[in-house]
Amino acid sequence: MPVPDLPSFTKLLGVNVLHRSPERTEAELPVRAELCNRRFTEVWGGLKDFNYSRDEWAALVDRTFAGIAETPPSASFFGTLYDHFAQPKAWRVFDDVFPALDALASGGFKLGIISNTDDNLFLATAKLLKVPFDEIVTAQQSRSYKPSLRNFQLAIERMGVPNQEILHVAQSIYHDVVPSRTLGIASAWVNRGSARKGAGATKIAFAAPDLEVPDLQSLALMAS
């Protein structure tokens, strides 16, 4: 899956959130990405319902940056941030992803995505993947977010494939490996490592995947 382009986010954070000079580096910003990730995770985890509208996102970001931003994000930078991440250029895809997906699709494997994004955001990033998927399940469609089992159950239903024939491939132990094991689905953990200490916005969890690979290309080679 595409991941946010951190330099772009940092520039937006420095210029639009904190109203600082664009010459300031990430290290010089008074608010670090780790704090934003932690606050977002706390707010997101406490939601009971979410309709994925622009207004809902604005309210979520206001709660995330309460006490951090000088003014509520909805009254300052939110519009710029929302529009920015709705564009493909705000995201990047690991170099191994496209050739791996292409090889798997050419090998006759059905491909599906279970995404913790809304429909509009996924449509923007899907253009970067280049390979068509048989099924796509977003958090908006399932009305829940991973690690909820609802996301996986909806994907299984749509794919029409027995659980024992499914391999769920993902980078998060908490969001993906744990629910996969709960449902009796084999899982492959893409352990790319992290440049940041800890798990970032992902909660720490413990579960043993059936397979561990450093990237998707390694998985595709094993499947060929």
Residue from 142, 137, 143, 124 nearest 51 by CA: 143
Collapse the DSSP code of 137 into the 3-class scheme (helix H, G, I; strand E, B; otherwise coil) and give the result: strand
- Spatial distance between the Cα atoms of 105 and 121, rounded to a whole number of angstroms: 23
Domain at 94-223: CATH code: 3.40.50.1000
- Residue 1's pLDDT band (boundaries 50, 70, 90)? low
Residue 48 has pLDDT above 60, yes or no: yes
- Is this model's pTM higher than 0.85 or not? no
pLDDT score, position 82? 87
Share of the chain above pLDDT 70, in %: 81
Residue from 182, 185, 202, 184 nearest 193 by CA: 202
Instruction: Locate the domains of the chain by residue range.
Output: 3-89, 94-223
Q: Which residue has the tokens 């979410």?
A: 50
152-201-52-49 Cα dihedral, nearest 10 degrees: 70
Q: What is the DSSP letter of 168?
A: E
pLDDT single digits (tens) 143-170: 888 899 999 999 999 999 999 999 999 9
